[in-house]
Amino acid sequence: MDCLFCKICAKTIDSDIVYEDEKVIAFLDINPVNPGHVLVLPKIHVEHLVDLSDEDILPVMKVVKKIMKALMSQSDVEGINILQNNYSAAGQVVPHVHFHVIPRKQGDGHRHWPGTAYQEGESAIMAERIKSAL
């Protein structure tokens, strides 16, 4: 399988692994937003979060929480962002589902994307569209 993260799971490409078990691996992002930025992923190759079975999501999320707790125990970490990109339109570069666990600090200079406003009646239509697709 020509997948970068599958190769990291198989140890044919080196990475700084911080946790691994039968189903899940966690390693340092090679270009961290902040030092300690960890990627958490299932060892099974699936591209997007929707492709992951409910059964396989749980162990991944447990490791996301475990990594978050480890990062929060560091004296220089004051907050955490959990980020998960799906499809290139949303910024996904590596097509193997992964969660970014990003340590944050007051005043570290990173910003969230800006919010926008709904037009009158637009939010109700949007909520209905989502509910009818569930």
93 forms part of the interface with ligand AMP (CB under 6 A): yes
Among this protein's residues, is 48 annotated catalytic? Answer: no
6 forms part of the interface with Zn ion (CB under 5 A): yes
Total residues binding Zn ion (CB under 5 A): 5
User: How far apart, in Å, are the Cα atoms of 99 and each of 8, 68, 115, 134?
Assistant: 15, 11, 22, 23
**Residue 89 beta carbon to Zn ion: minimum distance, rounded to whole angstroms:** 20
41 forms part of the interface with ligand AMP (CB under 6 A): no
Tokens 């989502």 locate to: 130
Task: Report the run of H or E that residue 63 belongs to, with start and end.
Answer: helix 54-72
10 forms part of the interface with ligand AMP (CB under 6 A): no
88 forms part of the interface with ligand AMP (CB under 6 A): no
CA-based max dimension of the chain: 54
Cα 59 to Cα 56: distance, rounded to the nearest angstrom: 6
Task: Choose, by CB under 6 A, the member of 30, 57, 125, 126 that binds ligand AMP.
Answer: 30
What does the angle CA 52 – CA 88 – CA 55 come to, to the nearest 5 degrees? 5
Annotated catalytic residues are: 98
Residues making contact with ligand AMP (CB under 6 A): 4, 13, 15, 29-31, 39, 85, 91-94
